[in-house]
Structure 1
Amino acid sequence: MFIRQKTKTALLVSFLIPATMFTQAHNVSKGYEKPTDPLVVQNLEEWQDLKFGLFMHWGTYSQWGIVESWSLCPEDESWTKRKPEHGRSYDEYVKNYENLQATFNPTHFDPQKWADAARKAGMKYVVFTTKHHDGFAMFDTKQSDYKITSPKTLFSKNPKADVTKEIFSTFRKEGFKIGAYFSKPDWHSDDYWWPYFPPKDRNVNYDPKKYPERWESFKKFTYNQLNEITSNYGKIDILWLDGGWVRPFHTIDPNIEWQRTIKVEQDIDMDKIGAMARKNQPGIIIVDRTVPGKWENYVTPEQAVPEHPLSIPWESCITMGNSFSYVPNDNYKSSQKIIETLIKIISRGGNYLMNIAPGPNGDYDEVVYERLKEISGWMDKNQSAVFATRSMAPYHEGNFYYTQSKDGKIVNVFHTDEKLNYQSPETLTFSIPENVKPKSVKVLGISSKIQWKKSGNTIEVRLPDERKKLNYSTVIQVVQ
């Protein structure tokens, strides 16, 4: 999706998709700088309470059912193999890809339907791809005609043509925090991939130091688009910047393979961009992915969960299916797998940003709504153990995962089994920290009184037959 590399990197992670598919371990940048702006600190604290968010990759590429943007990039061809019917030569392929603009017409687009399903499933923030690497703007930019609101785009005649505006306003109305994904590189821009040279990889295809006027033009273009997004689309809580190869050359970590492919300076002037974004949106969280420093307010493991808690704010972005972009007949994860993943992430102090890709008609596959409905049933019973919680030792022991309320008065213990169909056992025995002094114990979703006893640092809970109606996990709350 984002950084794309061939080998796993230093971050210890648990991968969630088959090894035969493309995966990557996303590095936690060294040198994290904690924000000092009180409004940003407050926003980040609120964001860490939300735990579960919706990611959406959507663009003209959904019509071909291919990986987002990357087939335009002349590297890693093995996982972005172009189909012959889409163009026999590279130039023909690019032309046909860009002509997808003319036929893009998602007439089933209904952001209220998405927001209702996501809210019921417990999602509390949304991050939408306003522009991916291919440069096609899903918002009404004045900097380019390569956009969804252009007369060249069939959907531009629709009153909801500015889909970013419609998504943000709809989800905001439903109480979601709003996140704008934006790609710093733009492969459609002549000031990034200059037609004078052929593109060789994901990076700028000329030396910005040799052609400073062209690079300055690209910096201005990027600044102006981000100014539009942060000025014209209501309150935005998160600016999620992708394309970490567009960065100051001195920030490259030579221990990371994909960063070693960056050969030229690509400083986009994040201080200027960040100051503008904070002026337009006081307190906005800025996520300049993989670029260490004051503009990476949280880190973003991709398709993976860190094996251990991190001491800094983090979020795993993971697909519901196998792909970030829409693919016909995608293999969607089960509700049990999604809930198990959520439990693992929150026990280690992170947020779960689950990607769902709309199709070319402007709607999700029907199975997506089935999954969200199943998740909502679990969330209705167990949300008090999920939201506004923090990690706590021992974090994870065997099939048990731990969180605590922010005031430390409630310890939440999740029991999972990772079998196809979870069945709650009659007896559960788990350890608790020495300083936890239980006053009462209850099992969420069970109305009957629970029998329990404490022996040393161990609690044993006996569950009634009512346990048989529990799905996906058993959640125990120990009240001090």
Structure 2
Amino acid sequence: MRILSLLLFSLLLSSAGAQTGYQPTADNVAARKAFQDDKFGLFIHWGVYSLLSSGEWVMNDRQIPVADYEKLPAFFNPIAFDAKAWVSMAKNAGMKYITITSKHHDGFAMYDSKVSDYDIVDRTPYKKDVLKALADECRAQGIKLFFYHSHLDWHNPDYYPRGRTGQNLGRPDSGDFNKYLAYMDTQLTELLTNYGPIGGIWFDGWWDQQVGDKTDPRKTKLDWHLDRTYSLIHKLQPATLIGNNHHVAPFPGEDFQMFEKDLPGQNQTGFSENSEISKLPLETCETMNGAWGFNINDRKYKSTKDLVQYLVKAAGHNANFLLNVGPMPDGRIQPEFVKTLGEMGQWMQQNGETIYGTRGGPVAARDWGVSTAKGNKVYVHILDWQDRQLSLPAMTGKIKSARLFADKRPVKVSQSAEGVVLTMPVAPAAGAIDTIVELEL
């Protein structure tokens, strides 16, 4: 522990402020491009909160004191956890990366931390490091691994002054926030030195300390020293991408921008009011039902059609889709999720060419669908349209050919300075997930 602390101290001294004017390395730029090409990932929210079957915010929602919440790990014994099954499920779904909670807002570490014993190895009867097993299996199957790590911590007494959440949990009314930040950076050092190459760090919880100033939404009550933390990460693994779910414009040192339960440019949740779209790689995350963590009462399962169409819309908005599952306390993933992911994988096997490696196409999102593009090809994704003819705005470059992607039947094209009209051999079938027209320019 002392050696690790000294390592961290030297790294912090040498890198403080280094992210001001941040210029990504060549490895980082390449990782950004690969991330954009991947398009589809699996989000996993899993922790001791799954025992209470009410989502990952249960400690805050039920106002469970720290002393009582600390009793949960003794009952957490996920003997049905199977890293190979998890990674295989993601791979079969067509996913290229996994983002899993290393520490959520409850402060409990899902790996073998040496800076604290509040973790799965030291406090549970399971005694195994699930992140180590997952990291090994991801490498074996060629899946990238990202870690979600919470800025916010309802357990650590040095997370003080408290923000907008985690009140009345029996913590002392004192603490050293800088000491907490050193603790957080030490845990990040552990994650980036003991688990092999890490695709990215997915931060969440910065918003807990926002002051609520509408004129300056990037202002917080405390200095998070993001430059120091981001510099530490990039020093330890230059290709590791940093994203922060803070719902404001990206800060220097961040490598991708995420949107929670919203497509870029939309604000249906209210989270994205201050999230202007940057030029960084983009990602949107969504749940398979209504909850992130396991919730036994949540039966609002989204259909395969809804989730495939969201994936397509995300690609049309030039973003990745990070789709969440909340495993059960014993380590199994709900069969409803497994079934839907398998069906999504079947769709991706047939149509992945129109998603992987693409960027948002020349036709901006419409009520009927979106477009994606790769090389000299444009893919028009018709999600909600029942007529044989579809009018598109004017397009740069001459359309050389057009055909239905599914069966290669030709599509008639009328192109002029005013726009493009596609006439399909048959109208899109009612209830179809996606009728794709491939245009070659």
Q: TM-score, normalised by structure 1?
A: 0.76
- How much is the aligned-residue C-alpha RMSD, in angstroms? 3.1
Q: Tell which deviates more after alignment, 299-308 or 382-391.
A: 299-308
| Residue 395 (structure 2) aligns with | 434
| Residue 27 (structure 2) aligns with | 39
* Equivalent residue in structure 2 for 1:155, among 119, 126, 132: 126
Structure 1 runs of 4+ off > 4 angstroms?
32-35, 204-207, 256-260, 467-471
* Structure 2 contact 383–432 (Cα < 8 Å) conserved: no
| Residue 303 (structure 1) aligns with | 261
Cα deviation per residue 1:3-50 (whole Å; 9 max; x = unaligned)? Answer: xxxxxxxxxxxxxxxxxxxxxxxxxxxxx9884433222211211111
Counterpart CA distance in 1 for 2:195 and 2:141 is 16
Is 1:282 aligned to 2:238, yes or no? yes
* Structure 1 contact 33–293 (Cα < 8 Å) conserved: no
Counterpart CA distance in 2 for 1:460 and 1:372 is 32
| Residue 196 (structure 2) aligns with | 234
Q: Tell which deviates more after alignment, 287-296 or 336-345.
A: 287-296
In structure 2, the CA distance between the partners of 1:113 and 1:255, relative to structure 1 (3 Å rule), is: same
Describe the SS at the equivalent of 2:315: helix
In structure 2, the CA distance between the partners of 1:425 and 1:216, relative to structure 1 (3 Å rule), is: closer
* Structure 1 contact 288–295 (Cα < 8 Å) conserved: no
In structure 2, the CA distance between the partners of 1:471 and 1:175, relative to structure 1 (3 Å rule), is: farther
Counterpart CA distance in 1 for 2:389 and 2:278 is 30
Counterpart CA distance in 1 for 2:32 and 2:353 is 20
Is 1:454 aligned to 2:414, yes or no? yes
The correspondence of residues 22-33 of structure 1 with structure 2, limited to 5 A, is: none
Cα deviation per residue 1:178-224 (whole Å; 9 max; x = unaligned)? Answer: 211111222221222599xx96389x9767xxx6xx33322221121
Which letter maps to 2:27? L
Describe the SS at the equivalent of 1:305: coil
Is 1:269 aligned to 2:225, yes or no? yes
| Residue 105 (structure 2) aligns with | 133
Counterpart CA distance in 2 for 1:459 and 1:101 is 61
Q: Tell which deviates more after alignment, 469-478 or 296-305.
A: 469-478
* Structure 1 contact 381–444 (Cα < 8 Å) conserved: no
Is 1:316 aligned to 2:284, yes or no? yes
In structure 2, the CA distance between the partners of 1:215 and 1:470, relative to structure 1 (3 Å rule), is: closer
Cα displacement (A) at 1:356: 0.8
Which letter maps to 2:214? N
The correspondence of residues 175-194 of structure 1 with structure 2, limited to 5 A, is: 175-192=142-159
| Residue 49 (structure 1) aligns with | 37
In structure 2, the CA distance between the partners of 1:472 and 1:256, relative to structure 1 (3 Å rule), is: farther
Which letter maps to 2:131? T
Q: Extract unaligned runs of 5+ from structure 1.
A: 1-31, 74-79, 83-89, 418-423
* Structure 1 contact 346–391 (Cα < 8 Å) conserved: yes
Counterpart CA distance in 1 for 2:387 and 2:153 is 56
In structure 2, the CA distance between the partners of 1:455 and 1:219, relative to structure 1 (3 Å rule), is: closer
Cα displacement (A) at 1:276: 2.3
Cα displacement (A) at 1:325: 0.5
* Equivalent residue in structure 2 for 1:72, among 52, 59, 64: 59
| Residue 50 (structure 2) aligns with | 62
Cα deviation per residue 1:366-414 (whole Å; 9 max; x = unaligned)? Answer: 1111101211121111111101111133312331311111x3x001100
| Residue 114 (structure 2) aligns with | 142
The correspondence of residues 69-108 of structure 1 with structure 2, limited to 5 A, is: 70-73=57-60, 80=61, 82=62, 93-108=65-80
Q: Tell which deviates more after alignment, 127-136 or 178-187.
A: 178-187
Which letter maps to 1:284? T
Which letter maps to 1:134? D
| Residue 4 (structure 2) aligns with | none
* Structure 1 contact 122–379 (Cα < 8 Å) conserved: yes
* Equivalent residue in structure 1 for 2:139, among 172, 187, 203: 172
Which letter maps to 1:228? E
Identical amino acids, percent of aligned pairs: 29
Cα displacement (A) at 1:236: 0.3
In structure 2, the CA distance between the partners of 1:169 and 1:354, relative to structure 1 (3 Å rule), is: same
Counterpart CA distance in 2 for 1:95 and 1:192 is 16
* Structure 1 contact 304–316 (Cα < 8 Å) conserved: yes
Describe the SS at the equivalent of 2:380: strand
In structure 2, the CA distance between the partners of 1:475 and 1:33, relative to structure 1 (3 Å rule), is: farther
In structure 2, the CA distance between the partners of 1:362 and 1:404, relative to structure 1 (3 Å rule), is: same
Counterpart CA distance in 1 for 2:70 and 2:216 is 30
In structure 2, the CA distance between the partners of 1:34 and 1:62, relative to structure 1 (3 Å rule), is: same
Cα deviation per residue 1:430-453 (whole Å; 9 max; x = unaligned)? Answer: 325332312222222215x32423
Which letter maps to 1:40? N
- Counting matched residue pairs gives 404
Cα displacement (A) at 1:471: 4.5
In structure 2, the CA distance between the partners of 1:274 and 1:396, relative to structure 1 (3 Å rule), is: closer
Q: Extract unaligned runs of 5+ from structure 2.
A: 1-19, 267-275
* Structure 1 contact 289–296 (Cα < 8 Å) conserved: no
* Structure 1 contact 137–146 (Cα < 8 Å) conserved: yes
| Residue 361 (structure 1) aligns with | 330
Cα deviation per residue 1:25-78 (whole Å; 9 max; x = unaligned)? Answer: xxxxxxx9884433222211211111111111000110111221x3433xxxxx
Cα deviation per residue 1:234-285 (whole Å; 9 max; x = unaligned)? Answer: 00010112111477x8xx671189978x5x42x3433332222222212211
* Structure 2 contact 50–293 (Cα < 8 Å) conserved: yes
